[in-house]
Amino acid sequence: MGNNNIDAIPGADVASPPPSRNYGSFLKNNMRDYGMLMSLVVIMAFFQFMTDGTLMEPLNLTNLVLQNSYIVIMALGMLMVIVAGHIDLSVGSVVGFVGALAAVLIVNHNMDYVTASIICLFAGAAIGAAQGYFVAFFKIPSFIVTLAGMLVFKGLTLTLLEGQSLGPFPPGFQLLSSGFFPDFSTTEGLHLTSLLIGVVLTFVGVVVSLRGRARQVRNGMEREPFAFFIGKLAVIAGALVYFCYLLASYKGIPNVLGVMSVLIVLYTFVSNRTVLGRRVYAVGGNEKAARLSGIRTERVSFYTFVNMGVLAAVAGLIFAARLNTATPKAGLGFELDVIAACFIGGASASGGAGKVMGAVIGAFIMGVMNNGMSIMGIGIDIQQVIKGLVLLAAVCVDVYNKNK
């Protein structure tokens, strides 16, 4: 620890103020976080009603997860990029490029899919590093660098695929997207193993939250009133168990959900609890202050792009496995959904603020709207209009809250 043994300065002592127990003011200051969660619930309830219950059917729910996994995974990386004060427009093209690379390696060159996937992840890292280098060390605005990247990788995708679709992939590779957790039970119609995993992990999550809360209380640093904490925890835990139950009554937990969950937990931890995460927020919040505090701001920005590249590669592999073919059109427009998810999730356009859970919920809000409107038979044209307006409304609410 640093040397902070200076004597107290003379004068009246400042008593430790009691933590605020005022529910109203707490709710007002944290409207964003609860509002997000509530919007997701309201939107799901709305579509559940409008689609006569189709939305929450096990089959549809499974599809919802499969359709949105790659958006959620990329939103994790995009959040880091946005928090650091940048943007990455190239992720959609990188998804396409990595899919094409995987197809060329596996289908054309008969490489085994594990090696090919690892090569693809490294390719993603290299792409991120290249773009990050120009942004961080060359000081070219990320908007321009990644706009260029978007064009470059779209072009390279076409080159790799020679303008045609390439497939199919071997069954093992497809399992990445279409596989489910194996089931060892014999119960008819219900995948008990999946349900069990869901329940156990939810229980572990609840225990970890409670212990974290206890530790905060011991140090007098809890921010959230107890009633809100318990209420939120109960709602989320209940929703997770119910969600797993629904999935279990179809084919069980999809492999992709496993990958996604692990990444969400990992990124939540990195952003909240690690030195690196803290630095990303500091750089985005005030780059000059961060630099004068000894943080190598260029390096931090660089890492966020490398990370984004890897996650875009993961998404690219999942997407290719899901389609079972690599097409030149893969990933088209993904960047818009990913960026929208982050902003709907409360990330600040000027950097320095945004939460991993927010981006995940933002991605699911987009996903549920896509899915619900499609079931309702709303045309793709109107869907775009509505999604655009929702994005604008979410950010307006943010700005309004901030100025209040």
Partner 1 sequence: MHGIRKTFPGVVALDQVNLRVRTGEIHAIAGENGAGKSTLMKVLSGVYPHGSYSGDIEFQGKVREFADIRDSEEVGIIIIHQELALVPLLSITENLFLGNEQASAGVIDWHAAHARTRELLRKVGLNESPDTLITNLGVGKQQLVEIAKALSKDVKLLILDEPTASLNESDSDALLNLLLDLKAQGISSILISHKLNEVSRVADAITVLRDGNTVYTHDCHAAPISEELIIEKMVGRQMESRYPHRTPQIGETIFEVRDWRVFHPEHAEREVVKGINLRVRKGEIVGIAGLMGAGRTELAMSIFGHSYGRRISGKVLKHGQEIDTSNVSRAIRHGIAYVTEDRKGLGLVLENDIQTNISMANLAGVANGLVIDEAREHEVAEDFRKKLKIRCSGVLQKVLNLSGGNQQKVVIAKWLFSGPDVLILDEPSRGIDVGAKYEIYSIISALAAEGKCIIMISSEMPELLGMCDRIYVMNEGAFAAEFDAAEASQEKIMHAIVNHGEQHGQQ
**Could you tell me which stretch among 10-18, 38-46, 105-113, 156-164 binds partner 1 (CB under 8 A)?**
10-18
Is residue 21 a contact point for partner 1 (CB under 8 A)? no
Using the structure block, give the residue that is written with the tokens 């100025």.
403
Question: Is 281 an interacting residue with respect to partner 1 (CB under 8 A)?
Answer: yes
Q: How many CB atoms lie within 10 A of CB 398?
A: 20
Provide the minimum distance between the beta carbon of 305 and partner 1 in the complex, in angstroms, as a whole number: 20
- Tell whether residue 14 is a contact of partner 1 (CB under 8 A): yes
Look up residue 239 and give its two tokens: 């929703």
Q: Give the position of tokens 């990320």.
A: 142
Task: Map residue 331 onto helix, strand or coil.
Answer: coil
Question: 180 pairs with which residues across the strands?
Answer: 254
Applying CB under 8 A, the span of 89-97, 202-210, 273-281, 369-377 interacting with partner 1 comes to 273-281
**Residue 132 Cβ, how far from partner 1 at the closest point, in Å?**
20
Instruction: Provide, rounded to whole angstroms, the least separation between the CB of residue 117 and partner 1.
Output: 27
d(CA 260, CA 23): 34
Tokens 């490029």 appear where? 97
Q: Is 404 in the site for partner 1 (CB under 8 A)?
A: no
Please say which residue, 13 or 188, places its beta carbon nearer to partner 1: 13
Residue from 43, 72, 82, 282 touching partner 1 (CB under 8 A): that is: 282
Burial class for 222, CB neighbours closer than 10 Å (0-12, 13-18, 19+): middle
Residue 283 to residue 330: CA distance in whole angstroms: 33
**Residue 342: which of 71, 47, 142 has the closest Cα?**
71
Dihedral sign, CA of 309, 313, 318, 324? Answer: positive
The stretch near partner 1 (CB under 8 A) out of 59-67, 87-95, 274-282, 389-397 is 274-282
Nearer to partner 1, 221 or 380 (CB): 221
Burial class (CB in 10 A: 0-12, 13-18, 19+), 286: middle
Piece in contact with partner 1 (CB under 8 A), picked from 133-141, 180-188, 203-211, 217-225: 217-225
According to CB under 8 A, which residues from 345 to 364 bind partner 1? 352-353
Answer yes or no whether residue 6 interacts with partner 1 by CB under 8 A.
Answer: yes
Identify the residue among 208, 266, 292, 386 touching partner 1 (CB under 8 A). 292
Q: Interface with partner 1 includes 290 (CB under 8 A)?
A: yes
DSSP state of 108: I
- Kindly report the backbone phi and psi dihedral angles of residue 268, in degrees, each rounded to the nearest multiple of 5, phi listed first: -60, -45
Nearest to residue 32, comparing CAs of 389, 372, 374, 355?
355
CB of 20 to partner 1, least distance (A): 7
- Least distance from partner 1 to the Cβ atom of residue 284, Å: 9
Of 22 and 108, CB closest to partner 1: 22
281 and 83 Cβ atoms separated by less than 8 Å: yes
Residues of this chain, 36-65, that bind partner 1 according to CB under 8 A? none
| Distance between CA atoms of residues 280 and 302, nearest Å | 10
Secondary structure (DSSP) of 160-222: HHTTS-B-PPPHHHHHHHH-B-------TT--HHHHHHHHHHHHHHHHHHHHHHHHHHHTT--
232 interacts with partner 1 by CB under 8 A: no
Residue 7 binds partner 1 (CB under 8 A): yes
β-bridge partners, 166: 326
Residue 4 as a binder of partner 1 (CB under 8 A): the answer is yes
Task: Give the nearest distance from C-beta 352 to partner 1 in angstroms.
Answer: 6
Q: Which of these ranges, 117-125, 149-157, 213-221, 336-344, lies near partner 1 under the rule CB under 8 A? A: 213-221
Provide CB contacts within 8 A for 38, sequence distance 6+.
none
Q: Is residue 19 close enough to count as binding partner 1 by CB under 8 A?
A: yes
Q: Total number of residues binding partner 1 (CB under 8 A)?
A: 44
Q: Considering only 112-120, 268-276, 303-311, 385-393, which stretch makes contact with partner 1 by CB under 8 A?
A: 268-276
Contact residues toward partner 1 (CB under 8 A) are: 1-11, 13-14, 16-17, 19-20, 215, 218-221, 223, 273-276, 278-279, 281-282, 285-286, 288-296, 352-353
